[in-house]
Amino acid sequence: MGFLFPWKRADVAIDFGTANLRVIRLHDGVVFDEPSLCCFTQGGPTSALIAAGNEAQPMLDRTPAHLRIRRPLRRGVLQDLDTAREMLRYALARMPEGRRARATRGLFGVPADATAAERSALLTAAHDAGFRSAQLVAEPFAAAIGAELPVQEPVGTMIVECGAGTTEVAVLSLGGIVLTRSVRRGGAALDRAIVDHLHFRHKFLIGDATAEAIKHDYVRARLASDTAGDATLQIKGRSLGSGMPTTIAVPLTELDQVVEKHVAQIIDVVRNVLLATPPELSHDIHDRGIVLTGGSALTPLLQSMIASATGLSVILAPNPTHCVANGLHRMLG
Ligand SMILES: Nc1ncnc2c1ncn2[C@@H]1O[C@H](COP(=O)(O)OP(=O)(O)OP(=O)(O)O)[C@@H](O)[C@H]1O
Ligand SMILES: [Mg+2]
């Protein structure tokens, strides 16, 4: 069944996220899926792009004085127009048809509560990057379509879209968003909380990229059924006491506490949305549960803590990281 939405036809779907940029074309599927970051020269009157996406990733926290890593988005919304334009140009240039694909019509995801200025900045970046036209779609809505939820039906659906920069909670029905709230915190804030924890508890210094790697090690350890109760993670960094590079062992239970604190803030938003949801839709959500999407939906404890805080069933969408991109893709047709 086609979608009864007011979008004009578009050629490519763009999920421009704080951590990742994904570009999907109607007939080709995913044509670009790389980290949202660029490396520029700095110091002179002009700065030139040195690397972007996968090529820029290993440079994070390792740049000399004349280079600088910049992120186009922060907390889910565009913060650096020049970097956003370069990132989009870079992605377009890597599409199979190269230059020809430049004069293209894009369907972009944007946080549902993005301000007019944030929306306008994204449209400007798209235009400057060479898009012929750009339309914006609320990300929780796209995520719900990507998760194959019945958004067009007269039933309430609740979605929690957990990205790197923002976590959006939305109730959808009859092809639209009935209610939405967000917290501009996501996986990147959890990485920062790990940095802060090691700093204050262990007087130990690590960078953001290491913190994300630790998070992934922690996730793997928590998913492994044979992890011992007193298991630890070996973490490499710099001791603030001795100033020397060293390794420390941190119990998984300590990281559980960091994650619990982070998830508690998401639960507050979910509660607020549930409290404001009209009764008929509440009834539907009670029957159907809450669906989690986005890369950070894979965070351990998130699903179980939301379930026990609300008493509702909480379902992790298949392939949660790609729900927004897949939803936008389906809207292209
Ligand atoms: N298995 C996992 N467990 C926990 N977190 C994960 C896992 N895999 C990815 N992540 C986190 O998911 C985030 C990336 O998710 P996603 O690609 O949905 O974000 P984004 O779209 O770039 O951000 P946003 O929509 O907030 O602007 C990162 O913070 C990453 O560390
Ligand atoms: Mg996202």
Q: Is there a domain that residue 135 lies in? A: yes
What's the predicted TM-score (pTM) here? 0.94
Q: Is the CB of 18 under 6 A from ligand 1?
A: yes
Same domain, 69 and 211: no
Ligand at minimal distance from the CA of 73 is 1
Going by alpha carbons, the residue nearest to atom 2 of ligand 1 is 298
33: CA distance to ligand 2 center in Å? 12
Report how far apart, in Å, the C-alpha atoms of 108 and of each of 23, 67, 273 are.
9, 30, 25
Inside any domain, residue 5:
no
Strand partners, 291: 159, 315
> CATH no. for residue 85?
3.30.420.40
Q: Tell me, yes or no, whether 1 lies in a domain.
A: no
Inside any domain, residue 3: no
The domain boundary, picked from 251, 268, 302, lies at 251
Are 46 and 102 in the same domain? yes
Q: 136 forms bridges with which residues in the sheet?
A: 108
Q: Are residues 36 and 71 in the same domain?
A: yes
- Are 231 and 193 in a shared domain? yes
Q: Which atom of ligand 1 is nearest to the CA of 167?
A: 26
Distance 62 CA to ligand 2 centre (A): 26
Distance from the alpha carbon of residue 44 to the mean position of ligand 1, in angstroms: 34
Q: So what's the pLDDT on residue 1?
A: 42
Residue 4 belongs to a domain: no
Say how many Å lie between the CA of residue 145 and the centre of ligand 2: 14
31 plus 131 within the same structural domain: yes
Domain total in the chain: 3
302, part of any domain = yes
Q: What is the pLDDT of residue 237?
A: 96
Question: Do 113 and 25 share a structural domain?
Answer: yes
Q: Which residues have CB under 8 Å from 216's CB, separation 6+? A: none
**Which whole-number Å values give the CA distances from 61 to 153, 192, 200, in the listed order?**
47, 14, 21
The residue nearest atom 21 of ligand 1, judged by CA position, is 17
Residue 133 lies in a domain: yes
Q: Are residues 226 and 115 in the same domain?
A: no
Residue 6, in any domain of the structure = no
Residues 156 and 303 both lie in one domain = yes
My answer on whether 191 and 181 are in the same domain is: no
> Of 251, 275, 295, which residue is a domain's last?
251
Nearest ligand to the C-alpha atom of residue 122: 1
327 plus 205 within the same structural domain: no
What does the pLDDT look like over 158-214, one tens digit per residue? 999 999 999 999 999 999 999 999 999 999 999 999 999 999 999 999 999 999 999
In this structure, which residue's CA is closest to atom 6 in ligand 1?
Answer: 296
- Ligand 1 contact via 212 beta carbon (within 6 Å): yes
Q: What is the CATH number of the domain that holds 220?
A: 3.90.640.10
Cβ of residue 35 lying under 6 Å from some atom of ligand 1: no
Q: Are residues 123 and 246 in the same domain?
A: no
Span from the CA of 279 to the centroid of ligand 1 (angstroms): 32
10 Å CB burial of residue 128 (0-12, 13-18, 19+) is: middle
DSSP assignment of 144-175, as one string?
HHHTT--TTSSS-EEEEEE-SS-EEEEEEETT
| Ion ligand 2, residues whose Cβ is below 5 A away | 17, 163
Give me the average pLDDT of each 10-residue run along the chain (333 residues). 64 96 92 96 82 95 91 95 96 75 83 96 96 96 96 96 98 96 96 98 95 96 81 96 96 96 98 96 97 96 97 98 96 86
Out of 251, 267, 293, a domain closes at: 251
30 and 117 housed in the same domain: yes
Residue 328 CB neighbour total at 10 angstroms: 30
**Residue with CA at minimum distance from ligand 1 atom 12:** 295
Q: Which atom of ligand 1 is nearest to the CA of 186?
A: 26
Return the residue whose CA atom lies nearest to atom 15 of ligand 1. Answer: 295
Q: Which residues does 275 contact at the CB level (< 8 Å), separation at least 6?
A: none
109 lines ligand 1 (CB under 6 A): no
Substitution site in 299, 321, 322, 328 for ligand 1 pocket (most atoms within 8 Å of beta carbon): 321
Q: Which domain holds residue 230?
A: 187-251
Ligand 1 atom index nearest CA of 111: 25
